[in-house]
Chains A and B, each alone.
Chain A
Amino acid sequence: MSVRTVSHLKKGEKGVIKSITDKTMSLKLLEMGCLPGSEVRLDAVAPFGDPICINVGGWYCLSLRLNEAAVIEIE
């Protein structure tokens, strides 16, 4: 099975962050609370399917583009 990332989530589906694969984006994502081990849930999808809004660790809603979501690997 290929690696699953946040960009594969369906609306309402949850996942636990395993790692962030992109080095340049990782600091920003970490600062925004996307930590390994925390739970994310896909909350909303913008009209053309991109960007998406995810709930981070039950704390808040973060919107990001699909290519940004694709660097967050989930279990």
Chain B
Amino acid sequence: MKLGIIKVALIGNPNAGKSTLFNALTGLRQKTGNFPGVTVEKKSGTFKIAGSGDEDDITASIVDLPGTYSIYPKSRDERVVMDILANPRHPDHPDLIIIVADASNLQRNLLLFTEINDLGIPTVLALNMLDVAASMNMSVNAVQLAMQLNVPVASINARTGEGIDKLKEAVRHAAEKKHSTSFHYFYEPVQSDLAMIEEVKELYHLDNDYVALQYVCQHDNFSFLEQPVRAKLDALIEKYGFDESQFLASETIARYEKLKPIVSRSIKKEGITDQPYWTRKLDSILLHRFWGYFTFAFVLLIVFQAIFAWASYPMDLIDEGTAKSIEWVKNALPEGVLNDLITDGIMAGIGGIIIFIPQIAILFALVAVLEESGYMARVMVIMDKLMRRFGLNGRSVVPLISGVACAVPAIMTTRSISSRYERLLTILVTPLMSCSARLPIYAILIALVVPEYKVLGILNVQGLALLGLYTLGLVGALGSAWLLSLFIPRKEPSYFMLEMPSYKVPRWGHVAFSSYESVKSFVLEAGKVIMAISIILWVLASYGPGDSMDRAEQATIVQVKSGTQEQRDAAVASARLESSYAGQFGRFIEPVIKPLGYDWKIGIALLASFAAREVFVGTMATIYSISGDTEDVPTIKERLVQEKNDVTGGPMFTPAVCYSLLIFYVFAMMCMSTIAVVYRETHGWKWPLIQLVYLMVLAYVSAFATYQLLS
């Protein structure tokens, strides 16, 4: 092991406090990304261990591996763990492993430790949650445990940072120790497997028996093994008549048998041991057949209130700020193409992005609070049976709730669903949950058609209409899940099995950090797309093929003689837009969207928003500001109200058109980032394309029906 810089991996059960320890060790000097070759999120960072006297400082680069109960993976996330640990050439292959164990559930947590120990990589055990153990009337003797397991043990409290220095010291000792001389296997393979192990070791130049066994058991999971190598291992399994599932069960039982006396010698019980009092008390309410749903509904109400009501204040400020700065820049810069590009193109685009920051920040903070406190696990339990009817799983609740903010991170959270079938269904329907990008579209169209008055004293009708659209999205999601489950055959049984963590006070720093991270990735990822589209759209709407725009202008000037100067200017601008590239696009698709009640101008906005829905309102603003009068800057709502239908001469945005647009946007899959993330998560174009088609058909048919019924 090279001193100076060492590579450390953090491993532990879910809920053992791994991420908290990671944050405590690295502070905010952490990076998120993906493991090379796979899309599972990777958190990495560094920490320093100060040397004393003649010792040098050590810098440790640490990666946080996905939480797992054993080295035998059950979900896609977990597969990463062994792929790294069994492959010495992997860039993240660690020199040393810190295993985080939940002291209040020592026996099960140590199972993973014994497996990792046998892989032969130096290990340090971080004993966490001693306070929870104490509240269950248990105390753990760390010294006893260290002696029994033959491993350095550090008692820590990851939340308060207590014992972190001791842990670092233990890491230093383990790192400095030359090759471990006292290594012994925790699990001794049975006699009949030894010959096979020797053969595998020789074939692949391995020196560890247990790693050799993992080659046999898990070679299909190892991305670093080529196909011929896997075939060779299959032949070996055949030759020795090795029964894999038999082996896994007996190995696990043998490990527990050996652990049991060690655990009982290290733990002192005082009185009755049970889950902490508050956890039992709260569960009796939150899992109750009536109060459980009542609380969940209440929590959802708060979440929605927060996104819509509380977020509106900062959003208004941002909106106003953007408008003011655009006006300022417009006046400050000399008039011309550059001025237009900067203000109408770029700044309008940026404004369209940053306005969502409050909503996304609040939603992700609340989801983080629900997860951290342990409540999300309860929601999964009370929703499981309901979700099962639609072919989903209790775990699908988290992506569906997160989908209200943005489908992209929501789809990423489906990785915790171990059944590939349920995961796929969840991915396919999550985009139906109305994401925050749809909110401005909803808001502006509702403002146009729904009168603003109150019912029952407090309920705002416009708010109710909004709630209705969200409900429609949810119904659409569950309905399509059910429909899709009829067509996609289920190849594997469905599992639920979920550990219920004890309730905890959320770590506020972590909540803030996760909310910050989501905002950052939204602004950077979605922002790039929106910016690009704003600029492209501006170019397409400002230029036309050849001199077509100038000719259209001349023709209009000749035609329109009456009216004020303003009206003539508007007519000219409108004619110019119509003959621009964007206008010609709009005209081109007009026959397709005419049955839905839309004209070519809406068509342009529709096409532009294929990339991202949030572009829609901005595009409308751009188009109507290019085609409208230039005297004052009316709000987008005023522009829409003034817009005339070319054919009828009446207002363009009739209730039928508005409702048709609303319904279209509830269902339509108009988000390139979502398509990209589905492609990434399903490893191919098949599912994103199927999803795109079924959602487009659903949107088109529903919008068509709506328009025809109402007009």
Taking Cβ atoms with an 8 Å cutoff, the residues of A that contact B are 23-33, 35-36, 43-51, 53, 55-65, 68
Q: For the complex, is B708 an interface residue (Cβ under 8 Å from A)?
A: no
* B489-536 residues at the A interface, CB under 8 angstroms: 493, 495-500
Which A residues are CB-close (under 8 A) to B275?
43, 55, 60-61
Interface flags for B61-87 (1: CB within 8 Å of A; 0: not) read 000000001101010000000000000
CA distance A56 to B253 in the complex (A): 15
Which A residues are CB-close (under 8 A) to B288?
47
CB distance from A39 to the nearest CB of B (A): 11
CB distance from B171 to the nearest CB of A (A): 27
Assess whether B381 is in contact with A63, with CB atoms less than 8 Å apart: yes
Assess whether B284 is in contact with A44, with CB atoms less than 8 Å apart: yes
Size of the chain B interface, CB-CB below 8 angstroms:
43
Assess whether B497 is in contact with A30, with CB atoms less than 8 Å apart: no
* B240-278 residues at the A interface, CB under 8 angstroms: 245, 248-249, 252-253, 256, 273-275
Assess whether B386 is in contact with A48, with CB atoms less than 8 Å apart: yes
CA distance A65 to B497 in the complex (A): 7
CA distance A28 to B287 in the complex (A): 24
CA distance A75 to B500 in the complex (A): 25
Q: A32-B69, A53-B287, A63-B498 are in contact. Are A27 and B249 (CB under 8 A)?
A: yes
Most chain A CB within 10 A, of B273, B288, B381, B385, is at: B381
CB distance from B264 to the nearest CB of A (A): 11
Which A residues are CB-close (under 8 A) to B248?
27
CA distance A48 to B381 in the complex (A): 10
CA distance A47 to B288 in the complex (A): 6
CA distance A33 to B104 in the complex (A): 13
Assess whether B249 is in contact with A30, with CB atoms less than 8 Å apart: yes
Assess whether B495 is in contact with A28, with CB atoms less than 8 Å apart: yes
6 contacts between A and B (CB under 8 A): A23-B245, A35-B253, A45-B287, A58-B273, A63-B381, A63-B499
Candidates A50, A59, A65; contact of B108 at CB < 8 Å: A59
Interface of A is mostly: mixed
With both beta carbons as reference points, the residue of chain A lying nearest to B418 in the complex is identified as A28
Assess whether A46 is in contact with B497, with CB atoms less than 8 Å apart: no
CA distance A26 to B245 in the complex (A): 9
Which A residues are CB-close (under 8 A) to B493?
24
Assess whether B385 is in contact with A60, with CB atoms less than 8 Å apart: no
Known: A28-B495, A31-B252, A65-B495. 18 other contacts (CB 8 A): A26-B245, A29-B497, A31-B69, A32-B69, A32-B108, A43-B283, A47-B290, A47-B292, A47-B293, A47-B382, A58-B273, A60-B104, A62-B500, A63-B377, A64-B497, A64-B498, A68-B495, A68-B496
Assess whether B253 is in contact with A30, with CB atoms less than 8 Å apart: yes
The 9 closest A-B pairs by CB, nearest first: A61-B500, A47-B289, A33-B108, A48-B385, A30-B252, A65-B496, A44-B287, A60-B105, A59-B105
Q: For the complex, is B654 an interface residue (Cβ under 8 Å from A)?
A: no
Candidates B107, B108, B384; contact of A46 at CB < 8 Å: B384
Assess whether B497 is in contact with A62, with CB atoms less than 8 Å apart: yes
Q: For the complex, is B353 an interface residue (Cβ under 8 Å from A)?
A: no
Assess whether B245 is in contact with A27, with CB atoms less than 8 Å apart: yes
Q: A46-B381, A46-B382 are in contact. Are A63 and B496 (CB under 8 A)?
A: yes
* B74-122 residues at the A interface, CB under 8 angstroms: 74, 104-108, 111
Which A residues are CB-close (under 8 A) to B279?
61
CB distance from B650 to the nearest CB of A (A): 52
CA distance A44 to B280 in the complex (A): 9
CA distance A57 to B104 in the complex (A): 12
